[in-house]
């Protein structure tokens, strides 16, 4: 089952709407009954709760000039961003998760000191941020948010998806985490405790999802291929696609 929420929203659209927002052309986002689709839509509005930052406008202006002069190809830029947003980043985190699933000693180190254990696999923060890994179990489900802005574990997950930066997700993940999870397709039993972790510039969280049943015969690489970005943010569970060789 494909994860619709995993589909990256075009950054070009975001940039152009951020510019429109600066001109006061876009309505402010609604908060209250947002669905994942709303999270994605409102991310296009993310810049308009406040006007887009000077940096965002400057980047947009520079990019427009370079494209106009034929010095850069916008498709190439999008491809690079897309790579970091949905391929390179999340794949690093997936390798961390898969290693923890197959190597109990590694899992123990990962939960005790996420920063060091992640560095063992060659992934590290460029901004000196501290990594904390929180484990989902049959009785605890962890969800990661940054209520203040969009702090996110870049070295293991790449660029944050736009819904992660949206006002509805940032507020509702705290107010109504079970409701948010339901909208992402995760329904938790009442006796499962939900823990919401608010990321900061100094501390970034990574969810260690539960290893799905039926994967006992899989090797580490096969397991890593199952792990999605959303599962490591805590808005999805890891599942085995039908027909997968388990
Ligand atoms: Fe932040």
Which of 146, 171, 199, 239 is catalytic? The answer is: 146
Distance CA(148)–CA(73), nearest Å, equals: 34
Handedness of CA 199, 81, 231, 105 (dihedral sign): negative
Cα angle 204-108-245, degrees, rounded to a multiple of 5: 90
More confident residue, 21 or 201: 201
Q: How far is the CA of 64 from the centre of ligand 1 (A)?
A: 27
Q: How far is the CA of 242 from the centre of ligand 1 (A)?
A: 36
Q: How far is the CA of 106 from the centre of ligand 1 (A)?
A: 28
Assign domain 9-25+32-233 to its CATH architecture: Alpha-Beta Complex (3.90)
* The pLDDT of residue 36: 54
* The pLDDT of residue 191: 95
Distance CA(157)–CA(91), nearest Å, equals: 7
149 is catalytic: yes
* The pLDDT of residue 89: 76
**What's the chain's average pLDDT?**
80
151 is catalytic: yes
Alpha carbon of residue 30 to chain centroid? 21
Q: How far is the CA of 244 from the centre of ligand 1 (A)?
A: 37
Q: How far is the CA of 36 from the centre of ligand 1 (A)?
A: 20
**pTM confidence score:** 0.70
Task: Output the CA–CA distances (angstroms, integers) from residue 14 to 40, 100, 121, 160, 211, in the order listed.
Answer: 10, 36, 33, 13, 35
Dihedral pair phi/psi, residue 207, rounded to 5°: -85, 130
pLDDT 10s digits, 53-96: 787 888 889 888 998 998 888 888 877 777 766 666 789 999 99
239 is catalytic: no
86 is catalytic: no
Instruction: Taking residues 11-40, report their average pLDDT.
Output: 40
pLDDT 10s digits, 119-175: 999 887 555 679 999 999 999 999 999 999 989 998 899 888 889 999 999 999 999
Percent of the chain with pLDDT over 70: 73
Q: How far is the CA of 127 from the centre of ligand 1 (A)?
A: 13
CB 204 within 8 A of CB 133: no
């Amino acid at each position: 089952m494909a994860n619709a929420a995993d589909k990256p929203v075009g950054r070009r659209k975001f940039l152009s709407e951020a510019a429109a927002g600066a001109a006061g052309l876009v309505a402010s986002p609604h908060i209250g009954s947002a669905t994942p689709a709303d999270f994605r839509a409102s991310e296009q509005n993310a810049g308009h709760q406040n006007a887009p930052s000077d940096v965002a406008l400057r980047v947009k202006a520079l990019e427009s000039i370079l494209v106009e002069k034929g010095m850069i190809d916008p498709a190439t830029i999008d491809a690079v961003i897309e790579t970091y947003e949905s391929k390179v980043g999340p794949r690093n985190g997936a390798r961390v998760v898969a290693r923890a699933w197959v190597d109990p000693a590694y899992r123990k180190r990962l939960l005790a000191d996420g920063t060091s254990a992640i560095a063992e696999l060659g992934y590290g923060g460029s901004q000196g941020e501290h990594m904390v890994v929180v484990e989902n179990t049959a009785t605890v489900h962890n969800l990661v948010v940054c209520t203040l802005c969009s702090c996110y574990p870049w070295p293991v997950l790449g660029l944050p998806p736009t819904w992660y930066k949206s006002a509805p997700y940032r507020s509702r993940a705290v107010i109504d985490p079970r409701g948010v999870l339901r909208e992402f397709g995760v329904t938790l039993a009442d006796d499962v405790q939900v823990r919401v972790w608010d990321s900061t510039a100094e501390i970034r969280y990574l969810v260690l999802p539960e290893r799905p049943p039926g994967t006992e015969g899989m090797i580490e690489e096969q397991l890593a291929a199952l792990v999605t970005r959303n599962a490591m943010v805590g808005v999805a569970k890891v599942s085995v696609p039908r027909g997968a060789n388990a």
